[in-house]
Structure formats: structure tokens, C-alpha cells
Copies of this chain bind each other. A is one copy, B any other.
Amino acid sequence: MKVRTKDIARIANVSTATVSRVLNGSPNVSEKTRQKVLMAIESLDYTPDLFAKNLAKKRYWEIGIGCTDEVFRGIESRDYQFYLKVIEGIQKYFSRKKCNFTIFSVDSKNLEENIKGKQGFLLVGGGVTKKTIDFFQSIGKPVVLVDQYIYGYEIDCVVSNGFYGEYKLIKYFLDKGYRSIAYLFDTATHFSYEQRRLGYEKAMYEKGYTPLVYPFNEKSNMLEITKRILEEHPEVEAIATCEDRVALKVIECLKALGKRVPDDVGVMGFDDIESAETSDPALTTVNVFKEEMGSLAAKRLFDLLNNEDIRPTQISLFTNIVIRDSVKL
């Protein structure tokens, strides 16, 4: 069915001249009239090539969702549903917007193949590297990092406010009379880890206590480190950690060392993953709004695709403390 300007004018209840003005992007049209005409056009499924520019904002996009291998491993694990929920948030948003999306591995060797035909990208995972960011920035298409940021880049990203959450959690227990809380810090270049450590340190400094930070990496023996904390600082009342998975390991280590949690030593996590609620004892932690992190990132990418010349921003979602049983009250 061929729709003509006359039909649009009739539906929008304006003159055909007004319809032409709108289609040609003339400034001499009130915003209300412009909207009426655009809506009439849409209600008729009228998309003339000549005026496609004016309707570009309604386009459907081809999105690439690049994930690190860590994200894929996380999705497969029943206990750790962090990124699964982030990706659910992304999918829900794009489904609503009728965008097509493809999930692929940024660590894959077929990257060139995976990015073909995509108009914008989300890069998901705290382990996204500089190399990956450099590659995607060089393509020249909109990119949003999800749960990652690396200093030195001006790039759109959506992260959780780990600084605020960790600060609030530690302050909560210091206000209750705790004096000696150690911190297990993963030295991997996840933006979150550093932010959470800084929040811990701020809370400790504010009360006049010296932070006790124990760094570790993927090669570290957690049992050794837990033992070392207790030997070097027998006064330690609780061990805070950079994430729930580490906290759950520390609980195991403490039990192996003959300590009761929380009676002898408390343990705190971060993320509020699936198994935090069902662990023994149930984990005191900080909740990251994972699905909303995904949908915010998707919304940001959508905005970038629809509007040029937007300056990059870092969007940081506030987090909530969750008090359960792994730290004595």
C-alpha cells in the first residue's frame, strides 16, 4: 500500500504543506505538530526513503554483546549468577526495543567475524582488558563497558558503586563497635575490586583505624592467606572480601582452621550472588543490582546509537548492604 502525504495530513489533522515541512525538517513547525505528524506517519507504517533521515531515530539496531571467558564460565555456574543476570537485563531492554543482538566471546580468535554487521557493542565483564578496549575503540562504533572501567580511557561504562557499598558495610560494623576488620583484595584489574578496597579504607581511616589489606591473585593459596591473617593479627574480628566467591572460600578455610563463623571470626562478601543466601552461615554482603546494570548499559548504547556527539560518561549504580549471619551483630 502506497501512503501519500494527503493521508498523513488527514490523520494528523494538519495541512499537506505542514506534512512536507515536517518531512523536510523545517524549523517552522511546533514540536507538538511535528510529533502529531510523525505519529501519523508511524501509524501508517509510512517510511519513504527520501525522508528516512527524519525517522532514523526509530531504527532497529544490530548489537554485539562481547563477553570475557570469565563471564561465560560464570553463566555456566549455578552458584554464581552475577553475569547471567546482567545479560538478562541487557536482553530484556533490547527485546523491548526490537534490537537484534548476538553474544560472542571477546577472547575468541574469530573476533573480526563476530563483529561483522554490528552497529554497536556492549563489552561485559570486570576482566575486559586494555587490548580489547583498544580493538573496539579502533572500529569507531559506539561501545559501552559493563562492570568494567580502566583508568586512562574516555569510554562509556556502567559499573556498580563498590566504593559506596563497601564503605557503608564496613562503617555499619565499625559503628557497632568492631575495631579490627581485615580486607582480602584481589589484585586483578577489575575496576570494582579497587573501588571496593578504597571504600573499605575510607571507612577504616574515618574511625582512626589502620586498614589491614591482604592482596592476593588467582595463584594464591587462600588457606595460607587466611592462616597468615590470623597469625599476624589475632585481634581480627572479621574478614571482609572483594566478592562473595572469595568470602565463601574464606569461610571454608576458617572452618578448616578450627574457627567458628561468625562466633570466632566474621566474614563479609560483595555482590550478593545466588549462593550467598543459602551458604552456611548465610553471607553478609552488598547487593549489586545486576539486571539493572545490564539494562542501564543497554539503554546507554541505545542512546549513543540514536544521538551523535554525546560525551562519554561513567554511570555508577548505588549498592545496598545485606545483613545476614556471617558477621556477629
A36: Cβ under 8 A from any B Cβ:
yes
- CB pairs A–B below 8 angstroms (23 shown): A11-B11, A11-B40, A13-B43, A13-B44, A31-B98, A36-B42, A36-B43, A39-B39, A39-B40, A39-B42, A151-B167, A152-B168, A154-B318, A292-B310, A296-B313, A311-B317, A312-B317, A313-B315, A313-B317, A313-B318, A314-B316, A315-B315, A315-B316
A303 to B, closest residue via Cβ: B299
Contacts of A31 in B (CB 8 A): 96, 98
In A23-49, which residues have CB < 8 Å from any B CB?
31-32, 35-36, 39-40, 42-44
* Bound CA–CA A317/B318 (angstroms): 17
Shortest C-beta distance, A32 to chain B (Å), equals 8
* Bound CA–CA A101/B90 (angstroms): 34
Binding site for B on A (CB under 8 A): 11-13, 31-32, 35-36, 39-40, 42-44, 96, 98, 151-152, 154, 161, 164, 167-168, 202, 289, 292, 296, 310-318
Contacts of A11 in B (CB 8 A): 11, 40, 43
Shortest C-beta distance, A86 to chain B (Å), equals 14
Contacts of A311 in B (CB 8 A): 289, 292, 317-318
Shortest C-beta distance, A293 to chain B (Å), equals 9
* Bound CA–CA A186/B317 (angstroms): 28
Contacts of A40 in B (CB 8 A): 11, 39, 43
Q: Which of B32, B98, B314 contacts A318 (CB 8 A)?
A: B314
The 6 closest A-B pairs by CB, nearest first: A39-B39, A154-B318, A314-B316, A39-B43, A40-B43, A312-B318
